[in-house]
Structure 1
Amino acid sequence: MRSIDLPTVRFTLALLVCASFLGVASATHAATDPDGVHEVRSSVDKVVLYRGVASVERIVEIELESGIHELVFTGLPMEDVDWDGIRASVTAPWQVLGVDYSIDQVVTPEGGRKTLEAAVKAARERLRRAELERKGVEEDLLLLGMVGVRVASDASGDAGTPSLDLEAVRAQFEFVRTQRSALQKELLSVEQEVRDAAEELKRAEQAFDKAGWTEKEIVARVRIASTTDGVAKVSLRYLKLSSGWEPTYSIRSDSTSKTMSVEYEALVRQETGEDWNDIELTLSTAMPSEPSGPGEITPVFVDRKRVPPPASRKSASSDSAVFGMSEGAMVGGSRGRSAQKVAESMRNAMVADGGTAVTFQLPTRVTIPTDSMSATRLRIAGFDAPASRVLVTRPVTDPGVYLRADLVNKSSYVLLAGQAALFAGGEYLGSTEVGEVPAGGDFEVWFGIDPSITVTREVLGRETERTGLLGGGRETTISYRIDLANLSAQAVSVEVWDRRPVSRDEDIDVRMVDVSPELATDQTYLDTAAVRGLLKWTVDLAAAGTQGASQSINWSVRVSRPKDLEITPIPE
């Protein structure tokens, strides 16, 4: 056992002195030296993982006699730990009297140094022998290759002559093949031995480098007491940084199904420096270090109304925002487990809604190695979401026809905002963003372009003429046409969007004329998009090669104003 010097720094965080300890011990007795001090090595048993920090719980079981005992937790992480939040608990009939931590100086004894020197020497010898054995096997393989070349050369020279003994040649080739296979297997085994020996040497040298030097170590001390003998199960909890999780999804589409499979997963980042082996994991959306509260109220003002400067022609990405679609929303083209373990891992997590936070209790224990270069993907839940598929085109910004899925979150889970990988018929299409969706809420996902439908948009003409008895007005007319063609063997419906100018001045009148077919009449469109100048049609296209596989949309926009009124350019 290592010797631990007197602490150089000690912060007492909590000392809960019992005024009456189970009716026997007094406060004076609780403050005296404990009946026993026990150094314990604990392991991580439970983790509550928040979005940027982890609540880590270590558990140790120890059999103790009645009285007051101090458990000294060693082997704790030094960095990225919020030790101000340290807590301890113990099973009945034991009670926690206090918990504190200190930064101690730890010295490796001289005897331990000699043991480490011997370990380094043995590891070096093991590595040397393994490397020699690997070199011998590699030379045997090289020699065998030369034998194979000689056999092939001899057989080639005797080809077509009576001296060619086919059976002997076959036997020689079989011998070479068998020996090569055996040597290759032996080489794999020897190479593994070299890697193991090198890893052993690395660990031994690291331990040796620390020998004889004084180092700092975090030590936690927990005082517990009981009037009866028994086993005490003590847990130590603290907050550890360098860890967190993000929600992620896999959404799979099958064109013949009225639902889509949604896999709800967590991408866990674990950089704590120690592996979490066979732990109980809970995922939480709370932030323990950031209690929530109402936002600040900012002042508002009333001022003279000013007409903003005319907007420039929008790019494709800004037009997407006009249509209510964020940039990038359209997507372009354990081994050895028992059946019971596999079934447990496929169960959904237990969800708890705490008002301002949601937690997911994973159904089985998991192992998450520490790794700063990658993350671990864990399953939270899976469910089938009712889905309706809609083909959408906005040729004023993009000539493509896109597949949009309107989904319903029928699970009992809140879908947190995160990335979603999209699959169609087993093929990966790409990824998109999913916003936060409450249980029972609707959300949409874009699955990219459907190449079987073509769309073209054309400005047919533009003219400006005088109006009124004395020519006191001006009227500009712009005519448009959109052509759609279905190249697939199935009839489809396409949602077509475009736009018209919206007047910001009472002297400027904007009208739609000669519209064919009629615009959409659903109330949602009329109450929202229509008032913003967006145009919507639903066009039915028959299967390719049949009447109605091609359709056209025609309309004109007329902008009238007084002749002396200068207006901003009318976009096409």
Structure 2
Amino acid sequence: MKKILFSYCLLISITSFCADEKNTVHANLKSATVFKNGAELTHTASSNLKQGMSELVIENIANQIDINSIQIKTANAVTLMGIEFSNNYLAPTEKSPRIKMLEDSIQKLQAERDKLYTATETNNELFQVLKSNRDLKGTQTGMSVTELAKLMDYYKTKMQELQETKSSLTEKMKKIDEQKAKLQNQINEENSKNTSQAGRLILQLSVAILGKYDFTISYIANNAYWTPYYDVRVDDIKSPLKLITKAKITQTTGIDWKQVKLSLSTSLPSQWGNAPILNAWYLAYVNPVYALQGRVAGLAMNSIQQGYLEKSSQKAESSSIRIRGTASINGNNEPLYIVNGAEMSKSEFNKISSSDIKSVNVLKDANATSLYGSRGINGVIVVTLKEGMDDYVTVTDNTLNLAFDIDLPYDVPTNGKAQTATIASNEIAASYKHYAVPKLDNDVYLLAEIPEWEKLNLMPAEANIIFEGTYVGKSFIDPNNTTDTLNFTLGRDKRVVVKRNKLTDYSSVKFWGSNKLQQFTYEITIRNTKKEAINLLLKDQFPLTTNKEIEVELISNGGAEVNNDLGILNWQLNLVPGETKKIRFSYSSKYPKDKQININ
């Protein structure tokens, strides 16, 4: 009876094992729509299913997903009764090519070290033999004193050689150990990413008819994002400007994206399935940065600064955030802003309403730099927005909702490293002009101006500037804070020379009663040494005052366009090849002679 029962249990186990094997399938990733935070992945799979209740295990699913976003499409004969998601920790993981290369290097170094170790042991044995045989006396060996002296010299020379060989071998093994340690640290860093562990779905199915069925599975995966950036290329000032839009795509979903159809979206994935509802929109004065004041420990709000906008006398308020305990050597203490897992510019962050903020975390020092590198040197503010409120049912990005489809199949490994893709390229008719402010900088800059840039659907992103095949530097495109014309600095043009000098013969200091009168005259010399004509925007300034005891007069503007609200002088100059122009302007100040003012 026991044998029959054992055989029956064994038969059930084998049957269950075979059924599990039969109903375990590998999902093939077909497409990925990557958002600023997250990605929608679409897989296909097929399996033979028996009639009745059946369990289907689908492998090769992302390791972190939104379970509520899962969508399964299949034939009408199959009814989905339940879904379970889990990570398959028992599945064998394939080492990345990077780790394999590092391990091969360690093996080669170990083989070399083994040879050195063997040579060291042999050297030590020879040394011991010489050491044991050196205690010889002439009376015991029948050697003369001369012969014994020669033998001792031989021992001395040979032992010295063996000692030097030992030191050399030891030093070589030490260097190999150091190289092995560095390689092992690199392997540990690669393994610490833990990005190769995939997930799986377990489907409970009711099958009406025996047969083979196809499945389409889609869901939102968390560990993926993309960031845009630009290459701005100008071959010469006679050629159009080339604006190349690129994307850095990063994913650690646990599955390699091989030959998938990629789409990139500037929006955030929808978190809820309900249709959006518009509510009344009331305008009000806000300073969004104050959304964090009083809510986060360690956060310092700088005092409000008053400024004046050009072409307007209206005052503008501005404020900034500094994390206590951080400092920057360049004076920029602005922290890094991370909203819903995605990096955001300060201007975009300022648009977030305080009522939309769910939680705020402040990272400082090592906690910030370990996660975000040098970008977190001034601290990191991590903000999570609210979800599920009745008056807004989706979380949307503040930028334009654009989608970029990449026609060619693309590979994105699950290693956390950014993969670059070119998503758009435009040739733009730009105007080029030179720009100089000799009071602040003796160099002349070449600018590219793009009118009607709104048609380009630009996104907030960094831009690499390449002029005449040379990398010039970086800029930042912020379409939300850009005027009618988009400007790029293409670098310094040393072939246009500008000098600003104070003319002492035309400057003076006089005393009238209780007042002191000073007059200043400056001469600006511009020389074009280029072989082509140039347009130059030249700027300088004269002082302003809000003190009734101080009087300022612009005596001569030198033919400039004058902005009296800001005290700015603008000259639009055209210079032919080899031409030199000189411009003079003068101003005076009168104030009580017992006072000092900041004028020169």
**Are 1:519 and 2:502 an aligned pair?**
no
Q: Is the 8 A contact 1:498 1:535 kept in 2?
A: yes
CA distance in 2, matches of 1:512, 1:440: 29
1:235 correspondence with 2:179? no
Which one of 574, 580, 584 corresponds to residue 554 of structure 1? 584
Q: State how far apart, in whole Å, the 2-side matches of 1:565 and 1:381 are.
A: 64
The equivalent position to 2:71 in structure 1, one of 85, 88, 95, is 88
Q: Write the mapping of 1:357-372 to structure 2, written as runs, cut at 5 A.
A: 357-372=401-416
Residue 74 in structure 1 maps to residue 55 in structure 2: no
Partner of 1:464: 509
> Is the Cα–Cα contact under 8 Å of residues 258 and 388 in structure 1 kept in the other structure?
no
How far, CA to CA, are the matches of 1:434 and 1:363 in structure 2? 26
Kindly indicate whether residue 422 of structure 2 is the aligned counterpart of residue 379 of structure 1. Answer: yes
User: 1:188-234: per-residue Cα shift (whole Å, max 9, x none)?
Assistant: xxxxxxxxxxxxxx9xxx9xxxxxxxxx9844223455656765432
Contact 1:285–1:359 (CA under 8 A) maintained in structure 2: yes
SS at match of 2:442: strand
C-alpha distance in structure 2 between counterparts of 1:417 and 1:307, whole Å: 26
Query: Does 497-506 or 94-103 show the bigger shift?
Result: 94-103
Deviation at 1:279, TM superposition (A): 0.8
Letter in 1 for 2:511: R
> Normalized against structure 2, the TM-score is what?
0.54
Of 536, 539, 543 in structure 2, the residue corresponding to residue 494 of structure 1 is 536
**For residues 409 and 494 of structure 1, what CA distance do their matches in structure 2 show?**
22
1:409 to partner: Cα distance: 5.9
Cα distance change of structure 1 residues 456 and 354 upon mapping to structure 2, 3 Å threshold:
closer
Distance in 1 (CA, whole Å) between partners of 2:202 and 2:87 is 12
Question: How many residues matched?
Answer: 378
Residue 454 of structure 1 and its aligned partner are, at CA, apart by: 0.7
Indicate yes or no: 2:568 matched with 1:568. Answer: no
For 2:561, what is the secondary structure of its paired residue? coil
Q: Does 1:57 align with 2:102?
A: no
Q: 2:444 aligns with which of 383, 393, 401?
A: 401
Instruction: Tell me the equivalent position of 2:521.
Output: 479
The yes-or-no answer on 1:508 pairing with 2:555 is: no
Does the Cα contact within 8 Å between 2:459 and 2:478 map onto a contact in 1?
yes
Cα 1:498–1:411 change in 2 (3 A) is: closer
Supply the RMSD in Å over aligned alpha carbons.
Answer: 4.6
In 2 relative to 1, CA 245–299 (structure 1 residues): closer, same or farther, beyond 3 Å? closer
Compared CA separation, residues 457 and 438, structure 1 to 2 (3 A): closer
1:220 corresponds in structure 2 to 201
What CA distance in whole angstroms lies between the structure 2 residues aligned with 1:559 and 1:440? 34
Unpaired stretches in structure 2, ≥5 consecutive residues: 1-12, 93-103, 112-186, 192-196, 289-303, 308-329, 332-396
1:42 matched to which residue of 2?
A: 27
* Residues 418-437 of structure 1, C-alpha deviations (whole Å, 9 max, x = no match): 22222333343333222237
**AA matched with 2:72:** S
Deviation at 1:268, TM superposition (A): 1.5
Equivalent of residue 488 in structure 2, options 432, 445, 459: 445
1:543 matches 2:577: yes
Following superposition, the deviation at residue 393 of structure 1 comes to 0.6
Q: Equivalent residues in 2 for 1:154-553 (5 A)? A: 218-224=199-205, 232-255=213-236, 257=238, 259-288=240-269, 357-372=401-416, 374-408=417-451, 413-436=456-479, 442-461=485-504, 462-467=507-512, 471-516=513-558, 518-520=559-561, 526=563, 530-544=564-578, 549-553=579-583
- Residues 36 and 265, structure 2, Cα contact 8 Å, conserved in 1: yes
The residue number in structure 2 matching 1:170 is: none
Is there any run of 5+ residues in structure 1 with no aligned partner, and where? 7-33, 113-123, 132-201, 207-215, 309-316, 319-352
Aligned-partner residue type, residue 400 of structure 1: D
Deviations 1:430-469 (A, max 9, x none): 33222237999741111001111111111223533234xx
The change in CA–CA distance for 1:537 and 1:569 in structure 2 (over 3 A counts) is same
Per-residue Cα deviation, 1:472-526 (whole angstroms, up to 9, x for no partner): 543221211111111112222211111221212244332211232x1137xxxx5
Aligned ranges 1:10-21 → 2 under 5 Å: none
State the 1:41 CA deviation.
1.1
C-alpha distance in structure 2 between counterparts of 1:446 and 1:486, whole Å = 19
Following the alignment from structure 1 to structure 2, what is the Cα–Cα distance between the partners of residues 107 and 488?
70
Give how far 1:392 is off.
Answer: 0.2
Q: Would the aligned equivalents of 2:450 and 2:485 in 1 still touch at CA under 8 Å?
A: yes
Query: How far 1:87 moved relative to its partner?
Result: 0.5
The 1:413/1:67 distance shift into structure 2, 3 A limit, reads farther
- Matched-pair contact (CA < 8 Å) for 1:51–1:246: yes
User: In the TM superposition, what is the alpha-carbon distance from 1:395 to its structure 2 partner?
Assistant: 0.9
| 71, 84, 88: which one aligns with 1:101 | 84
By how many angstroms is 1:63 displaced?
Answer: 5.1
SS at the partner of 1:72?
A: strand
Question: C-alpha displacement at 1:274, in angstroms?
Answer: 2.8
- Distance of 1:399 and 1:240 partners within structure 2: 53
Quote the Cα distance in structure 2 between the aligned partners of 1:515 and 1:568: 22
Q: Say if 1:413 and 1:439, in contact at 8 Å, map to a contact too.
A: no
Query: 1:46 corresponds to which letter in structure 2?
Result: S
Q: Quick one: which amino acid aligns to residue 465 of structure 1?
A: K
Q: 8 Å contact 1:89–1:96 — kept in the other structure?
A: no
3-state SS, counterpart of residue 365 of structure 1? strand
CA distance in 2, matches of 1:503, 1:83: 61
Larger mean CA deviation between 60-69 and 457-466 belongs to 60-69
Counterpart contact for 1:274–1:369, Cα < 8 Å: yes
Identity rate, percent: 19
Cα distance between partner residues in 1 of 2:237 and 2:265: 36
Change (3 A) 1:271 1:220: closer
Whichever residue aligns with residue 536 of structure 1, its letter is N
* Cα distance in 1 between the residues matched to 2:428 and 2:61: 45
Structure 2: how far apart are the matches of 1:248 and 1:355? 15
TM superposition shift of 1:65: 6.3
Bigger CA drift: 498-507 or 424-433? 424-433
TM-score by length of 1: 0.56
